[in-house]
């Protein structure tokens, strides 16, 4: 039987172009023409963008695709769909339309495999009440698959990684360490059956609004999804965007069983290193062992949501999330930062965020045992 992970050099989100490289590639671009309806300019290439079309409707736009991180075509399709939809959920939106981004080696890959990928994806899209409305497919050496997704969000109710408040508690909905699991799978050191819980997690939709009350939702101050940059990278982005210090207790982070052992054995992807390089100057993980540092920098494919919530509502929200996300946990807290206050920070805009770094000082994320 064909094993998808054997067909590609790198698997899943670890195939992503590293953040530092991307920043240089985009550095010379002319900025977008000013447009008041462009509420969130996802110019960093990694977040969703938001464009207002009326007083109560804005479009959420995102695109995500990657190489297989699992062997089963059907599961790969499900994961790719859940992963692409995640950015819309992370913004508080509802996905509606999806366009497929597909590449595969036409001469060597049986089209029955591609059919199964599409079937898995369509199943998850339909669960998300999202229409597959087209796509584009090319003959490519590596199998790559994903979606461009358009969702809707009320412009007054957008979640972003800006907005975390001092005193908030941080909930993480899914365990981390999935790249460790899939790397072991690729190297033949574990079976798809053994990492089933990781596969299930990756194909679970990040939809949480249907689980919560209106009051619960009002208590949510900031949200991001944990993907290629790992918990470390995405927590850092939230801290900087919110101009707060985030404290994370390592022992409270849900991790996939066996993942730490795999990292201990040195089964790493390139992204483990690039993520560390991306975050190390802004983080203090000095109390963590070398392997634990790899764990927080493990790139996630279709990872969970990191949610900054009012401490008064945190336990109630956690209980409700646990119905769908059994491993969800409170992993840390948000603290006001000492330093000069910053009057204006654009949402998700790297350039402006960097200006703020000069005023407030690192570390932005502090890890405890």
Which residues inside 237-266 make contact with a copy of itself, applying CB under 8 A?
Answer: none
Number of residues engaging a copy of itself in binding (CB under 8 A): 74
Comparing CA positions, the residue from 278, 235, 60, 46 lying closest to residue 154 is: 60
Is residue 369 close enough to count as binding a copy of itself by CB under 8 A? Answer: no
Question: If binding is defined by CB under 8 A, does position 346 make contact with a copy of itself?
Answer: no
277 near a copy of itself, judged by CB under 8 A = no
Residues 10-49 that bind a copy of itself (CB under 8 A): 10, 15-18, 21-22, 24-30, 32-33, 35, 38, 41-49
Active-site residues, by number, are 13
Among 7, 52, 65, 172, which residue sits at the site for a copy of itself (rule: CB under 8 A)?
Answer: 65
289-318 as b/e, with b when 16 or more CB fall inside 10 Å? eebbbbbbbbbbbbbbbbbbbbeebbeebb
Q: How far is the CB of 271 from a copy of itself (least distance, A)?
A: 10
**Cβ distance to a copy of itself smaller for residue 72 or 283:** 72
- 150 φ, ψ (degrees, to nearest 5): -115, 130
Q: Which of residues 117-146 bind a copy of itself (CB under 8 A)?
A: 118-119, 122-123, 126, 129, 131-142, 144, 146
Q: 239 with 365: CB under 8 angstroms?
A: yes
Dist CA 36 CA 182 (whole Å): 43
Report in angstroms the alpha-carbon separations of 99 from 34, 128, 366.
27, 14, 39
Determine which residue in the list 61, 69, 190, 204 makes contact with a copy of itself, applying CB under 8 A.
61
Closest distance to a copy of itself from the beta carbon of 184 (Å): 21
Q: Phi/psi class of residue 74: alpha, beta or left (left: φ > 0; alpha: ψ in -120 to 50)? A: alpha
Q: Which of 234, 175, 170 has its CA nearest to residue 204?
A: 175
Pairing state between β 38-40 and 220-225: unpaired
State which residue, 61 or 182, has the beta carbon closest to a copy of itself. Answer: 61
By CB under 8 A, tell whether 224 contacts a copy of itself.
no
Asked if 348 and 161 count as a contact pair (C-beta separation under 8 A), the reply is: yes
Give the residue with the Cβ less far from a copy of itself, 42 or 304: 42
Q: Which residues from 147-206 bind a copy of itself, rule CB under 8 A?
A: 148, 150, 152
Determine if 56 is a binding residue for a copy of itself (CB under 8 A): no
Maximum Cα interatomic distance, the chain, rounded to a whole number of Å: 60
């Amino acid at each position: 039987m064909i094993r998808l992970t054997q067909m590609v050099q790198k698997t899943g989100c670890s195939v992503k172009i590293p953040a530092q490289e991307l920043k240089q590639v985009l550095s010379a671009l002319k900025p977008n023409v000013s447009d008041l309806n462009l509420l969130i300019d996802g110019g960093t290439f990694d977040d969703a963008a938001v464009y207002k079309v009326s007083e109560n409707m804005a479009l959420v736009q995102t695109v995500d695709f990657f190489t297989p991180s699992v062997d089963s075509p059907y599961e790969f399709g499900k994961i790719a769909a859940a992963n692409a939809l995640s950015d819309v959920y992370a913004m508080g939106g509802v996905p509606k339309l999806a366009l497929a981004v597909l590449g595969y080696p036409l001469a060597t890959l049986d089209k029955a495999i591609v059919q199964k990928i599409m079937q898995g994806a369509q199943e998850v899209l339909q669960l998300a009440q999202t229409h597959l409305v087209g796509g584009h497919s090319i003959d490519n050496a590596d199998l790559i698959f994903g979606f461009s997704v358009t969702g809707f969000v009320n412009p007054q109710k957008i979640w972003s990684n800006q907005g975390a408040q001092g005193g908030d508690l941080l909930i993480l909905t899914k365990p981390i360490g999935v790249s460790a699991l899939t790397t072991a799978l690729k190297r033949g050191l574990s079976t798809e059956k053994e990492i089933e819980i990781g596969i299930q997690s990756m194909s679970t939709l990040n939809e949480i609004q249907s689980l919560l009350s209106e009051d619960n939702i009002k208590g949510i101050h900031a949200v991001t999804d944990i993907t290629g940059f790992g918990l470390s990278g995405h927590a850092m982005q939230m801290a900087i965007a919110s101009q707060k210090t985030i404290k994370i207790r390592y022992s409270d982070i849900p991790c996939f069983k066996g993942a730490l052992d795999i990292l201990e054995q040195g089964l790493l992807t390139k992204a483990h290193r690039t993520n560390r390089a991306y975050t190390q100057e802004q983080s203090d993980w000095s109390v963590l062992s070398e392997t634990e540092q790899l764990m927080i920098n493990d790139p996630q494919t279709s990872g969970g949501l990191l949610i900054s919530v009012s401490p008064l509502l945190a336990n109630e929200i956690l209980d409700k999330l646990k119905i769908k996300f059994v491993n969800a946990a409170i992993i840390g807290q948000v603290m006001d930062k000492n330093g000069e206050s910053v009057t204006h920070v654009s949402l998700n805009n790297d350039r402006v965020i960097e200006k703020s770094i000069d005023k407030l000082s690192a570390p932005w994320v502090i890890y405890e045992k």
